[in-house]
Structure 1
Amino acid sequence: MGVLRKFLAWLSVPVICFFALALYLARPFNPDNNRLLGFAVARVGRFLLGMERPLSGREHVPLDRPTVMIANHQHNDDLFVMGDLLPPRTVTVGKSSLVWLPFFGQVFWLGGNVILNRARSHKAIAVMQATSDAIARDRKSLWVFPEGTRSRGLGLQKFKKGAFHAAVASGAPITMVCARQYQDGTLGWTGRREPVSIRILPPIETAHLTSDDIPELMARCRREMEAAIAAMA
């Protein structure tokens, strides 16, 4: 039953994206399209999975100014766990291969999201620094998985610098989204997925920081996120 639930949840993604294409084509590169799509995909996905998502700290998300949201990345199912947490005017970061996924890739591109080519990873920081201009000029928020890859529920991995360069260069606060470590565990004969708790931490201001402060900023964020994740275990 759990396998069927997961199949239906992921089948819903291209279906929702197909219908969302009309919105994206009507107002291409409008970052609020991403928030609406994330809301629909996450809510439908969790419904089909039978997953509860207890949430605390939602009040810490800045709604009146841009922010850089960072979150721990465990599985592809993070889309259902966190997709409805995007603040207004948010763009996300994804690898270039996502663009080729049917319907999802097209709305990802039309959403004005940041596309990174891993084959040119040495340019990633430069791309994120350029993104900081969009944060400041266009008042966009940015969602990043700073680990850069999935941990598969095996603990917080080393952070990459890109998101922190973007935050410091733009002066935007960093808002940390922490998800409890989880696997594909199911509950009972119905195959409902185990709950995944989320805790959003108070933002860390970066307006007074310089590039020299980035290593300590990264270390602080990782410490606070690690502690919050451990507390939800």
Structure 2
Amino acid sequence: MGALRNVLAWFSVPVICMFALPLYIFRPFNPDNNRLLAIALARVGRAILGMKRPVEGAELMPRDRPVVAIANHQYNDDLFVMGDLVPPRTVTVGKSSLIWVPFFGQVFWLGGNVMLNRARSRKSIAAMQSTGDAITRDNKSLWVFVEGTRSKGRGLQKFKKGAFYAAVTAGVPIVMVCNGEYRKKTLGWWGKREPVTIRILPPVETTGLTAKDVPALIERCHKAMAEAISSL
């Protein structure tokens, strides 16, 4: 039963993206398209999965100014767990190969999201710094799965640097979105599904910081998120 629910939840993704495509074509590169789509994908997916998702600290996510939101990345199902938590006017970061995914890839590109070739780390950091300038210029927020790849519930991995360079360049706060290991809670074959709790931590201000401060900033955020995740 759990496997069937998961298949149906993921089948809903290209279907919803197909219906969302005309909106993206009508107003291309409008970041609010991404928020509306993420809300639809997450809520439909959770309804199919029978997933409950309480949020601790929801009031800590600023809605009136740009932020860089960083989250831990366990499985592709994070789309359903956290998709509707993105703030207004948000773009996210994904692999350049996503462009070839039917319907999803096209709306991802038309949403003005940041598409990186992770094999070229120096160019990726430069692109993220350029994104930091765009955050300020266009009043956008940025959502990043900061580990860069899925952990599959094996603990918090090393952070990629790009999100932190973007936040420092823009001088905007970093907001940490944390969720504990959930695969056995929500996607088992049988049995009662347990709620998947998300915890949002207080924003970390970056005003006045420079690129030299990025390593300490990464260490500070990694420690805070690791402690929160282990307690969930």
TM-score, normalized by length of structure 1?
Answer: 0.96
Q: CA deviation at 1:185?
A: 4.4
What residue number does 2:59 align with? Answer: 59
Kindly tell me the number of residue pairs found equivalent between the two proteins.
232
What residue number does 1:108 align with? Answer: 108
Query: Which secondary structure does the structure 2 equivalent of 1:13 belong to?
Result: helix
What residue number does 1:124 align with? Answer: 124
Cα separation, 1, equivalents of 2:5 and 2:193: 9
Unaligned runs of 5+ in 2: none
What residue number does 1:161 align with? Answer: 161
- Alignment check: 8 A CA contact 1:49 1:193 kept: no
Q: CA deviation at 1:192?
A: 6.3
Unaligned runs of 5+ in 1: none
Q: How does 1:7-22 map to 2 (within 5 A)?
A: 7-22=7-22
Which letter does structure 2 place at the counterpart of 1:100?
A: W
Q: Does 1:144 align with 2:144?
A: yes
Which letter does structure 2 place at the counterpart of 1:12?
A: S
What residue number does 1:170 align with? Answer: 170
- Alignment check: 8 A CA contact 2:99 2:108 kept: yes
Cα distance, 1:60–1:185 mapped onto 2, change above 3 Å: closer
Cα separation, 2, equivalents of 1:46 and 1:94: 22
Kindly report the root-mean-square deviation, in angstroms, between the aligned alpha carbons of the 2 structures.
1.4
Cα separation, 1, equivalents of 2:25 and 2:211: 38
State, as a whole percentage, how many aligned pairs show the same letter.
71
- Alignment check: 8 A CA contact 1:5 1:191 kept: no
TM-score, normalized by length of structure 2?
Answer: 0.96
Which letter does structure 2 place at the counterpart of 1:10?
A: W
Q: CA deviation at 1:182?
A: 2.0
Cα separation, 2, equivalents of 1:200 and 1:28: 30
Give runs of ≥4 in structure 1 deviating > 3 Å.
184-194
- Alignment check: 8 A CA contact 1:60 1:201 kept: yes
Cα separation, 2, equivalents of 1:101 and 1:171: 34
